[in-house]
Amino acid sequence: MKDRVYNFYAGPGALPLPVLERVHSEFFNYNNTGMSVMELSHRTDEIQHIIDDSGARIKRMMNLSDEFEVIFLQGGGSLQFLMVPMNLSHPGDKIDYIDTGYWAEKAIKAAKSLGRDLEIIAASGDRNHTYVPNSDSIQTRSEAKYLHLCTNNTVVGTQFHNFPKVPIPIVADMSSDFLSKAIDPSPCACIYAHAQKNVGLSGVTAVVIRKSILENSPDDLPELLDYRTHIERKSNYHTPPCFSIYVMWQILRWIEEDIGGVEAMEKINWQKSSALYDFIDATPLFDCPVEVESRSRMNVVFRLPTKSLEEQFIQEAFESGLVGVAGHRTQGGCRVSLYNAVTLDAVKNLIEFMDKFAQKTNY
């Protein structure tokens, strides 16, 4: 559509145009119900089908065994920062965390508030979070109930490309790289991701949970904060965010049926990020501070020589229909998010603009 811009916001992020068109076509009359999906009761067969089929598609694309359940919750990643330690440990239990910056720090703060014996067993703050700790060197405490890490760090542009090999279960906050690449889920007890980056709208969070890990959950959890409640009630314990789940379902269909699954999606994401990183590395005006082996395939951060040049770049990009390229408010600089819905054509247009800007600046 000629009047649409190229959206590089870090979240909520771009949505696939085919999905928007499908949602538009069904907006007033979903599945011949004579109603919008937003009007349907959450107790209808139509809504439960959307919930159930979304979970089935995630299990299929992630190659999850029947050991795992997929549930859809509200509250974003921020609520999961609390629900994970509440469900997977008891007060006083040891839990291990990796600190790779902004979102990991929020998860650590939340877990500490619950009275757990939390230890940060690896961190990257010594070099301003421009890398992730080497997965092979991470050592956990043997009595720890789990190891928590944020796989992709949107603010600083770093990413774990493999799970650490540790003897305890892993809890992975995959909010910004969920279903962007193929993974081996076997080391994980829990994976969670709010949807508004790669798989949908704000308002819904996908949680993949290994059922056996819940056998030792505390018995006195509030029902609403107990994973077992939502598994038993099939993500319909209380009114779920039906429209957000519906849009996520449409995106899951798009990834599986149109793109060809997460393996095909991963190849596209590597093409996009490689093209942009190659250009940045070859152009003196732009500098990516992240160590090469730790660079995120989802969020590319870079700087220009001066703050005034960065502001000029961001403004001229916006005027050229390239929106959302400003860095996180705590970091400054520039950031380009390459989530699943961002097309290779969008990246090519960005690189063309960056090249013209560099030539004009003559730096």
Is 103 one of the annotated active-site residues of the chain?
yes
Choosing from 93, 96, 181, 197, which is the catalytic residue?
197
Q: Which two tokens stand for residue 261?
A: 């699954």
Between CA 134 and CA 185 the distance in angstroms is 19
Using alpha carbons, select from 355, 317, 319 the residue that is nearest to residue 336.
Answer: 317
Is 197 one of the annotated active-site residues of the chain?
yes
3-state secondary structure of 133: coil
3-state secondary structure of 147: strand
Neighbours of 316 (CB within 10 A): 14
Choosing from 93, 96, 99, 173, which is the catalytic residue?
173
The burial class, CB within 10 Å (0-12 / 13-18 / 19+), for 72 is buried
Using alpha carbons, select from 54, 9, 14, 4 the residue that is nearest to residue 343.
Answer: 14
Choosing from 93, 96, 103, 181, which is the catalytic residue?
103
Give the pairing type, strands 170-173 and 158-159. unpaired
Helix 262-282 and helix 344-361, axial crossing angle in degrees, nearest 10: 0
Q: Which two tokens stand for residue 63?
A: 């190659």
Q: Which two tokens stand for residue 197?
A: 């980056």
Is 211 one of the annotated active-site residues of the chain?
no
Q: Tell me which residues are annotated as active site.
A: 103, 173, 197
